[in-house]
């Protein structure tokens, strides 16, 4: 939301909440600076009264969409008046049992990044005021295990803000088999952490399809764009399922690879069988599914695909594409 509009909505909300009697559109127009500017002679707005009426109706609808209860009444002068009664817009008291308070306190303690830590700390203070007992340890016994969600990618924070505000973004993204990054125009839907890596799911406007992006492959700055989403956000966004299919998590076949003895620990964790070959190499059997070739390419010369032949060919093709780039 633009700063000027946000300020105008805030001023309108304060006027409606602060009055003891209904205010007419004329009174609101004369009280709020942004409306005064809209109807000022020489402002350049065609039909200043019409401009104000359209602006006011949009603002009123926006406030109602945000949850403000605005009443419409007829006042003594025969004009329509508006007000937002405080008792109609007051949140009910928050009551939490010990388990609910501890769970929310734990969630507030998870984030460790500087910008998020302040918000989480403020949220924890509000939870204390709302009923989180001082003697409730959100970590469990003696705080021995402290939860953290590490976020090292610079793209995380701007993407999180874009998700919150439903704003499209633009960023440069380097695919596993590409030597140079390409620009992506994305409507962000969800951020999710899976096995130590953060992923973004959203609508890729250039490809006209849903896509999942690994944040560590985003290069440069994430830039926000104005405008609305062009595709409805689905109720369920399957980030982990998509990433799992890349890594062969849902595969029903096996692949045989050679792996250097001191490398590829994520591959070893997935292996169903490991055999020492000697001379610094091991042979592994790992699940084989869609996207495994892209994952194997990331290990470079530490991996050699033995079978199946189509997987070996796919890995070779990806490596050649990188070399040509």
Q: Which of 189, 218, 245 delimits the end of a domain? A: 245
Q: Do residue 236 and residue 271 come from a single domain?
A: no
The alpha carbon dihedral of 113, 118, 119, 123 has a sign of positive
Residue 231 CB-half CA count within 13 A: 18
Q: Do residue 78 and residue 122 come from a single domain?
A: no
Q: Contact, 172 vs 219, CB < 8 A?
A: yes
Q: Could you list the residue range(s) of the whole structural domain that residue 52 is in? A: 3-88
In a structure prediction context, what are the per-residue pLDDT tens digits for the chain, which is 325 residues long?
Answer: 455 778 888 888 888 888 888 888 888 888 888 787 766 655 444 447 788 888 889 899 989 888 889 998 886 677 889 999 888 887 676 676 767 766 666 666 665 554 555 655 666 566 566 555 555 454 444 444 455 555 677 888 899 888 888 899 999 998 766 668 899 999 999 888 776 678 899 999 999 988 889 888 898 899 999 888 998 888 878 777 777 665 555 566 889 999 999 888 888 888 899 999 989 999 999 888 766 787 788 888 899 999 989 889 888 888 887 777 5
Q: Do residue 136 and residue 205 come from a single domain?
A: no
In a domain, 257, yes or no: yes
Per-residue pLDDT of 167-211, as tens digits, reads 999 999 987 666 688 999 999 998 887 766 788 999 999 999 888
Closest CA relative to residue 268, chosen from 286, 245, 248, 249: 286
- In whole numbers, what is the pLDDT of the chain averaged over residues? 78
Q: Contact, 255 vs 305, CB < 8 A?
A: yes
Q: Do residue 52 and residue 67 come from a single domain?
A: yes
What is the domain count for the chain? 4
Alpha helices by DSSP H, the chain: 3-18, 25-31, 33-39, 48-65, 98-110, 114-130, 156-165, 239-246, 265-270, 292-297, 309-324
Q: Contact, 219 vs 173, CB < 8 A?
A: yes
To the question of pTM greater than 0.75 for the whole model, the response is no
Report the CATH number at residue 229: 2.30.30
Q: Do residue 171 and residue 130 come from a single domain?
A: no
Q: Do residue 124 and residue 187 come from a single domain?
A: no
Q: How far apart are CA 115 and CA 149, in angstroms?
A: 14
In a domain, 151, yes or no: no
């Amino acid at each position: 939301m633009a700063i000027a509009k946000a300020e105008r909505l805030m001023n309108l909300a304060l006027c409606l909440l602060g009055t003891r009697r209904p205010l007419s559109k004329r009174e609101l127009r004369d009280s709020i600076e942004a409306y005064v500017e809209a109807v000022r002679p020489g402002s350049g707005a065609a039909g200043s009264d019409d401009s104000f009426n359209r602006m006011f109706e949009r603002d009123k609808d926006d406030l109602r969409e945000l949850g403000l209860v605005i009443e419409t009444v007829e006042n003594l002068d025969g004009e329509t008046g508006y007000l937002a009664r405080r008792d109609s817009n007051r949140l009910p008291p928050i009551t939490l049992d010990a388990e609910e308070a501890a769970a929310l306190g734990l969630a507030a303690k998870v984030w460790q990044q500087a910008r998020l830590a302040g918000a989480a700390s403020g949220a924890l203070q509000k939870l204390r005021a709302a009923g989180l007992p001082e003697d409730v340890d959100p970590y469990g016994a003696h705080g021995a295990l402290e939860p953290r969600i590490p976020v090292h990618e610079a793209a995380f924070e701007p993407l999180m803000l874009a998700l919150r505000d439903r704003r499209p973004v633009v960023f440069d993204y380097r695919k596993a088999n590409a030597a140079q990054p390409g620009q992506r125009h994305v409507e962000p839907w969800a951020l999710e952490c899976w096995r130590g890596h953060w992923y973004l799911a959203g609508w890729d406007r250039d490809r006209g399809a849903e896509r999942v992006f690994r944040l560590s492959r985003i290069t440069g700055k994430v830039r926000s764009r104005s405008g609305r989403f062009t595709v409805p956000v689905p109720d369920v966004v399957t980030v982990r399922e998509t990433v799992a299919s890349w890594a062969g998590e849902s595969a029903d076949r096996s692949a045989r690879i050679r792996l250097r003895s001191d490398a590829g620990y994520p591959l070893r964790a997935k292996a169903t069988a490991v055999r020492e070959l000697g001379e610094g190499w091991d042979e592994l059997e790992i699940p084989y599914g869609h996207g495994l070739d892209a994952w194997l390419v990331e290990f470079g010369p530490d991996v050699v695909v033995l079978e199946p032949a189509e997987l070996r060919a796919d890995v070779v093709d990806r490596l050649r594409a990188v070399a040509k780039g």
